Amino acid sequence: MNKNSRPNIDRERHGPGTVYLVGAGPGDPGLLTVRGRELLHRCDVVVYDRLAAPCLPSDLDDEVVLHYVGKRADHHAMEQGKINDLLVRLAHEGKAVCRLKGGDPFVFGRGGEEAEQLQREGIPFEVVPGVTAGVAAAAYAGIPVTHRGEAVRVTLVTAHEDPAKPERQVDWRRLGSERDGTVVAYMPVANLDAVAAQMIDGGADPDTPAAMIERGTLPAQRTIVAPLHQLAAQVAAARIKPPALLIVGPTVALHQTLNWYRERPLRGRRVVVTRPADQARRLIATLQELGVTPLVCPAITTAPADPSELEPIGDRLGSYDWIFFTSENGVRYFFGLLAARGLDVRALAQARIATVGSGTAERLAAYHLNADFVPTAFRGEVLLNEFLQRVDASDASDASDASRASRVDNITALRILRVRGDRAPTTLEDGLRDAGAAVDTVLAYHIRSATVRPDVADTLVREGADAVTFTSGSSVAGFEKLVPDHQLHDCAVAVCIGPVTADAAAAAGWRNVVTATVSTVDGLIACVTKMLASLD
């Protein structure tokens, strides 16, 4: 989306410099509200937390500026006071700012503090509520926080109070003395022993059902259920880490019968997805369904070429016998160039079409066109060789009926248009010219290096990954430039869509390289799934 075409919501509603405090929900991107998603696509700047990162849409406009201000126990990317100052500065610059916060901005999200600062500075703001983790994570674990006859109230409480306060505000003994309710404690991992002990001292039955939910609503969700007095030991044994929630109350017992969100087969695995974000949605969604945490790290971005690229061939568009597409991007951007010049598929009425790969053919079908020739293997050199073999077969006097039916004509009589990106090799068009064909090329798109999101880079450094998926040699080169200091060559598997990409990965230093049997996104998914399932 071009920035100039993106509606400026500030000027429509409040004037320049509005800040939108948006709740991202607990982590599952599907729980982000419609209003929240709309604002993410329409604001100029997104200031986001660590727990909100999974909800960032992969198809955000490239011109949206991202500021990562995530916090974890041992590290703050930015202190809260500086976050407040950042929001004020961006608003004073006239930006439409989406402040994306995990859960709900006003439920242990410090959104109230940010709103107060904005109010003092005279900056207009809007609060977009989000689904709070205390309710959503419990629901994903099959635990109703209220239930007729068992829990008539729910208490949301923090288990991690400000250490600078002179005294504690949460009275865990009093909470332990209450009956017929559910206690939901945020940030409980570090203090779980003390919390459980104080609740029991206050009168809670030691056998009260209790649960710890790690990474609630995310693919790596885990739930530990135990009597209150045993929970801390079981949580420690399971090595539960933040983010996590503590649930205490009678309805926790329903987890066994209402737990609809089962652990996924590849839960806990991390896979880096380097494909351009706008093409990676199906890959990402499939990995999430399997329990994989995808680290979206597009290694390259693509952008359309200027429509003037068509000018040298404009008068000849209707004269080509064949058009060669070797990527989905080539199809998409070529027809964009046609549209920019007021043309459509009728300009190609006389041409037949050759493609590399089923994905490219499927993209072509979106324009109601079928590929006339698809090689048996999804590589440019195979397209060239098999195309030339068809030419030879069709010229032979004793050619079979099948060969004549699939004839490609005499190569020296053919006019061919090759559609390509600016970094594509010239092997295909050079081979066609060497064989005698008249070949023109059109540059349909540019490949550019991307920038890595700070939260993804932080995760790669701290936690690493099990695999990195590559769909082209450009994505391999782009990833090496994007994350030059990564330590993945020896410990992660490079899962490649085809042999050319695999060769590029090996040349870049990857020691463990596997190649999809079929060079498609589905083949890549099957390959990464099989590889991850084989890990201990």
Mean pLDDT of 7-25: 71
Given a cut of 50, is residue 51 above it in pLDDT? yes
Q: What is the pLDDT of residue 4?
A: 41
Does the structure show a pLDDT above 50 at 398?
Answer: no
- Cα–Cα distance measured from residue 508 to residue 481, given in angstroms and rounded to the nearest whole number: 11
Least confident span in 179-183, 294-298, 466-470, 519-523: 519-523
Annotated catalytic residue, options 61, 62, 71, 278 = 71
Report phi then psi at 135, rounded to 5: -95, -45
- For residue range 219-242, list pLDDT tens digits in order: 889 999 999 999 999 999 999 999
> Model confidence at 201, in pLDDT bands (50, 70, 90)?
very high
Question: Per residue, what are the HEC states of 444-457?
Answer: EEEEEECCCCHHHH
Q: Which two tokens stand for residue 55?
A: 């909800």
Whether residue 327 has pLDDT greater than 50: yes
Q: What is the pLDDT of residue 472?
A: 87
* Least trusted range by pLDDT, from 44-58, 186-200, 301-315, 384-398: 384-398
Q: Tell me if residue 49 is catalytic.
A: yes
DSSP summary character for residue 526? H
Residues 115-137 pLDDT 10s:
999 999 999 999 999 999 999 99
6 pLDDT band, cuts 50/70/90, is: low
| Side chain identity at residue 78, one-letter code | M
For the chain, give the percent of residues with pLDDT over 90: 63
What is d(CA 360, CA 166) in angstroms, rounded to the nearest whole number?
64
Tens-place pLDDT, residues 457-501: 888 888 899 999 999 888 999 999 888 878 899 999 999 998 889
Non-local CB neighbours of 280 within 8 Å, separated by 6+ positions: 58, 273, 296, 298
Residue 183 — pLDDT band, cuts 50, 70, 90?
Answer: very high
Q: d(Cα 325, Cα 354) in Å, to the nearest integer?
A: 6
Q: What is the band of 423 on the pLDDT scale with cuts at 50, 70, 90?
A: confident
Mean confidence (pLDDT) of the chain: 89
DSSP bridge pairs for 426 = none
Residues with Cβ within 8 Å of 27's Cβ and at least 6 positions away in sequence, in order, are 51, 54, 55, 102, 133, 215, 216, 217, 218, 243
DSSP string, 115-163: HHHHHHTT--EEEE----HHHHHHHHTT--SSBTTTBSEEEEEESS--T
**What is the band of 393 on the pLDDT scale with cuts at 50, 70, 90?**
low
What the chain holds in terms of domains, given with CATH numbers, is 3-131 (3.40.1010.10), 135-258 (3.30.950.10), 270-299+450-533 (3.40.50.10090), 303-448 (3.40.50.10090)
Q: For the chain, give the number of residues.
A: 536
- Percent over 70 (pLDDT), the chain: 92
pLDDT digits (tens, 9 = 90+) for 77-102: 789 999 999 999 999 999 999 999 99
The beta-strand segments (E) located in 263-410 are 270-273, 293-296, 300-304, 322-325, 352-355
Q: What is the mean pLDDT of residues 270-293?
A: 87
Predicted pLDDT of residue 406: 44
Report, as an integer, the average pLDDT of 283-294: 89
Q: In the predicted model, what is the mean pLDDT of residues 308-335? A: 91
Q: Return the pLDDT at 335.
A: 95
Q: In whole angstroms, give the CA distance from residue 486 to residue 483.
A: 6
Reply yes or no on whether the pLDDT at 13 is more than 70: no
Give dist(CA 46, CA 402) in Å, integer: 58
- Regarding predicted confidence, which is higher, 141 or 402? 141
Q: How many whole angstroms from its chain centre is CA 439?
A: 39
Residue 238, classed as helix, strand or coil, is: helix
Most confident of 71-75, 258-262, 314-318, 505-509: 505-509
> How large is the average pLDDT for residues 509-524?
91
State the Cα–Cα distance between residues 45 and 61, nearest whole angstrom. 10
pLDDT in tens, 244-253: 999 999 999 9
Instruction: Please state which of the ranges 173-182, 329-338, 479-488 shows the lowest mean pLDDT.
Output: 479-488
- Alpha-helix residue ranges (DSSP H) falling in 366-464: 380-395, 401-405, 427-434, 454-463
Q: What is the pLDDT of residue 506?
A: 97
Q: 445 with 471: CB under 8 angstroms?
A: no
Containing 44, the helix (H) or strand (E) segment is none
Question: CA 268, CA 259: separation in Å to the nearest integer?
Answer: 19
Please say if the pLDDT value at position 73 is more than 80.
no
| Catalytic residue selected from 28, 44, 49, 458 | 49
Q: Is the pLDDT of residue 76 over 70?
A: no
